[in-house]
């Protein structure tokens, strides 16, 4: 790798603005063709789907379900833990890493975007952008149409309400909702009693 490429990668790592031209050397890491094939693989061929998922993603755990179609800028920067469930129209804007733990459930039409753009239009020339990794810890549930923005960490066991825009870290074992997403309450033992035959 050239010194120029190393300098660009360091700027990306620091969350500084970089351009499409500067990052073009990363194009071979994109899994565009494999994602297209995955999204068009018949549901009756789970073996082929699994093989494609292993070829697309940076890492993938056991018993993973990712319903097509899904979308990713790279795919290779996404890491999924065991027992992951991703519903239809999940979008990964994975210019840098998205790390998802074990037992995570994601509802339809959720966007996880590691990348944003500068506010001033002159800094968006050549698709100027910045990227920060996303971390979703174990046992998180993200509701439909939620958007998780660059640099966010969602803590263990938390629930993100449908339609939320998550722009800041969410602590473990909380319910968080809204635009911008805010903690509504903690998850407690009382939640074990809801929607049961005895409850």
DSSP-derived 3-state class of residue 147: strand
- Paired residues of 111 in beta bridges: 91, 147
User: Is-contact 133 151, C-beta < 8 A?
Assistant: yes
**Residue 144: Cβ within 10 Å count:** 15
Helices 46-56 and 32-39 pack at an angle, to 10 degrees, of: 160
Q: How far from 190 is each of 141, 158, 161, 187, 193, CA to CA, in Å?
A: 18, 15, 19, 8, 6
- For residue 54, the 8-state DSSP code is H
Closest by CA to 134, choosing from 117, 118, 154, is 154
Question: Which entry of 40, 71, 102, 117 is annotated as an active-site residue?
Answer: 117
Tell me whether residue 117 is one of the annotated catalytic residues: yes
Q: Which residues are catalytic?
A: 117
């Amino acid at each position: 790798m050239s010194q120029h490429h190393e300098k660009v990668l360091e700027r990306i790592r620091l969350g500084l603005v970089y351009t499409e031209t500067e990052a073009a050397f990363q194009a071979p890491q994109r899994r565009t063709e494999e994602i297209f094939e995955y999204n068009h693989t018949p549901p009756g061929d789970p073996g082929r789907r699994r093989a494609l998922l292993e070829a697309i993603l940076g890492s993938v755990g056991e018993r993973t379900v990712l319903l097509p179609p899904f979308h990713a800028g790279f795919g290779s920067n996404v890491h999924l833990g065991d027992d992951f469930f991703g519903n239809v129209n999940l979008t990964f804007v994975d210019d840098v890493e998205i790390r998802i733990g074990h037992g995570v459930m994601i509802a339809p039409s959720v966007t996880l975007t590691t990348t944003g753009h500068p506010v001033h239009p002159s800094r968006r020339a050549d698709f100027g952008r910045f990227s920060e990794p996303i971390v979703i810890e174990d046992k998180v549930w993200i509701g439909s149409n939620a958007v998780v923005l660059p640099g966010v960490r969602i803590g263990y066991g938390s629930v993100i309400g449908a339609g939320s825009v998550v722009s800041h870290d969410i602590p473990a074992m909380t319910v968080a909702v809204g635009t911008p997403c805010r903690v509504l309450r903690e998850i407690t033992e009382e939640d074990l009693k809801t929607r049961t035959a005895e409850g």
